[in-house]
Amino acid sequence: MQKRLVLDQKQIAITLDRFCHQLIENHDDFENTVLLGLQPRGTLVLDKLVKRLKEISGVEVPSGYLDATFHRDDFRRRDIPLKANETKINFLIENKKVVLVDDVLFKGRSARAAMDAMIAFGRPKKVELMVLIDRKYTRDYPIKPDYCGRKVNTLESQYVSVEWASQGFAQDAIWITEKEVKS
């Protein structure tokens, strides 16, 4: 299987640091801001981001996990249904600035579902999207990230895999991989 490295551990760390500084610029003291990691993989990015933000700014930004499984538009259209994950939001987002955090932006359908799911917790003042990887020219919905690690050109036959050392991989890394052809 062919693999092409997009970001290595050092580059991911630099990207997360840049995100932190961009957030500080845009959200000042985070008084009215919350961060939501999209289940299942955006939560890993969120955890690292929240930790790094505290180290840099000293502020512990309210954060939570958002699962959009029940709001997806492909239910009953997949071979196997997606398993739901935990939503963990211990606050209302009414009139808050919300930053949705995910690892990869592909067709935009997950982000759309996430916004639908998010509305159950109130009407946000503003919503922004943060992703480590933006797969260019693949969008099905008019959605684009406000904070982006790297834009990449990919084919339908490829997927982006995000590996974290905390999950047992050798190091944090993001790869473009060819999908295995089912014979």
Q: Which residues bind other proteins (CB under 8 A)?
A: 67, 69-71, 75-76, 79-87, 92, 116-117, 119-122
> Which of 54/123 has CB closer to other proteins?
123
Which residues are within 8 A (CB) of 12 and not within 5 positions of it... i.e. 6 or more apart?
132, 149, 172, 173, 174
Q: Which neighbouring-strand residues pair with 135?
A: 152
> Which of 79/180 has CB closer to other proteins?
79
Q: How far is CA 85 from the centre of its chain?
A: 15
In the chain, what are the helix, strand and coil shares in percent, each to the nearest 5?
30, 30, 40
Nearest distance, CB of residue 83 and other proteins, angstroms: 6
> Which of 111/152 has CB closer to other proteins?
111
Nearest distance, CB of residue 21 and other proteins, angstroms: 34
Q: How far apart are the C-alpha atoms of 180 and 182, rounded to whole Å? A: 6
Q: How far apart are the C-alpha atoms of 90 and 84, rounded to whole Å? A: 18
Q: Which neighbouring-strand residues pair with 65?
A: 37, 88
Nearest distance, CB of residue 112 and other proteins, angstroms: 12
The answer to whether the CB of 125 falls within 8 A of the CB of 96 is yes
Nearest distance, CB of residue 74 and other proteins, angstroms: 11
> Which of 52/109 has CB closer to other proteins?
109
> Which of 16/36 has CB closer to other proteins?
36
